[in-house]
Amino acid sequence: MFCSILCNFICCVLKQRNQTKQGNLLNKKVVSINYSFSKLSSHMGLYYLNKTLIFKIILMIFMLFLSFKFSIAYKIQASFVFGDSLLDVGNNNYITSLAKANHYPYGIDFGKATGRFCNGRTVVDVIEQEMGFGYTPPYMSPNTSGMVILKGVNYASAAAGILNYTGHILGDRINFDAQIDNFANTREEIICKIGVRATLNLLKHALFTVAFGSNDFLDNYLSESHLLSPESFVAIMISTFRVQLTRLFNLGAKKIVVVNVGPIGCLPYMRDFNPFSGDKCVTFPNQLAQLFNNQLKSLVEELRAILKGSIFVYGDAYHIMEDIIMNYTKYGFKNANSACCHVAGRFGGLIPCGRYSKVCEDRSKYIFWDTFHPSDAANVIVAKRLLSGDVNDVSPTNVWQLLQA
């Protein structure tokens, strides 16, 4: 396999040796050219190459070897991310929305504000670092094109949900249906670059992360008057999610980690707007999350059984976050209930984090960064437990095992 890739690459370089742009060489190397080594040696002698071209060939052979070695070790080539503000890395920067994090103090420990709703990294950022990847770029960025997309794309959008109505009070957002549409566009672009067969193989071995549901409660069911019972509302969420995840599978996704809804009743926002709960988490929002999560786990098991060739994995963020909150000192935290970035409220949850907010001195001691989102320190713990945790955290396999499957 590697020899075939190498042969095709050298042939492409030889054919394009008069082109000056390296980007052209990279684009052409993926075209299938069925020259044999005999034709290569008889028609195009390597001794005609100048030193610069030889250096380029050696460099690209080395890069191809590293890429090949990595894909053999982990059987993973790319990461595609779908979700809400917990995973958004800047898509909302490019749409008209009130849900944006492209300003200080967001990114204070990341180096700059990128659109991540955190002081540092998201859970998927940490996972991708552990995998040895760079961060997947936001789909909406004009720079997310060309060969970059072969390593994956992030489609997550703050305020997004499973249901298309979710998040409308915050303006534009890219809900899951639209995120899948965007992935379909990326898929077509990849096909144009490397062909159908290679694209399907890339997607087959790619990691797909899907995390939705929180906003369907926070910015839909709990924020407006609903005649539906919790059971009926969750049933609609699950039936919609089933169709969406099946569509994602039909587009080529095979290794799919579906992360459930965390304990939203423990958010600083929920605590401040429900003062009668005292120091405890708010019960009803957590009951909604658990109602959804129970059915989501069954859905993941169902899809894994009926969609042949799929490996659906259930990530239990609720269990992990609940454990961190209940045993926060064990994990090195000093504050388990308040927002590090705060303006008003006993728990700092009344007003969203903004340019004039107060920021705690040691972010690593806080579980929550702002009114709704965990800190970088908390995200690291969640990511590592999804990567290597037992069946109580992630099932039937953890992410490391999934990457090698």
Active site residues: 85, 370, 373
CA distances in angstroms from 145 to 67, 88, 151, 174, 386, listed in the order given: 20, 18, 11, 19, 29
The residues, any chain, with a CB within 8 Å of residue 201's CB and separated by 6 or more, are none
Look at residues 162, 155, 169, 175 and name the one whose alpha carbon lies nearest to residue 81.
Answer: 155
CA atoms of 84 and 122, how far apart (whole Å):
11
**Is the bond preceding 374 in cis, omega lying within 30 degrees of 0?**
no
Look at residues 22, 20, 3 and name the one whose alpha carbon lies nearest to residue 61.
Answer: 3
- The amino acid occupying position 242 is R
Measured from the Cβ of residue 369, the count of other Cβ atoms closer than 10 Å reads 30
Supply φ then ψ for residue 316, to 5 degrees.
-95, 75
Contacts 24+ apart (CB under 8 A), 20-26: 22/56, 23/146, 23/147, 25/56, 25/60, 26/147
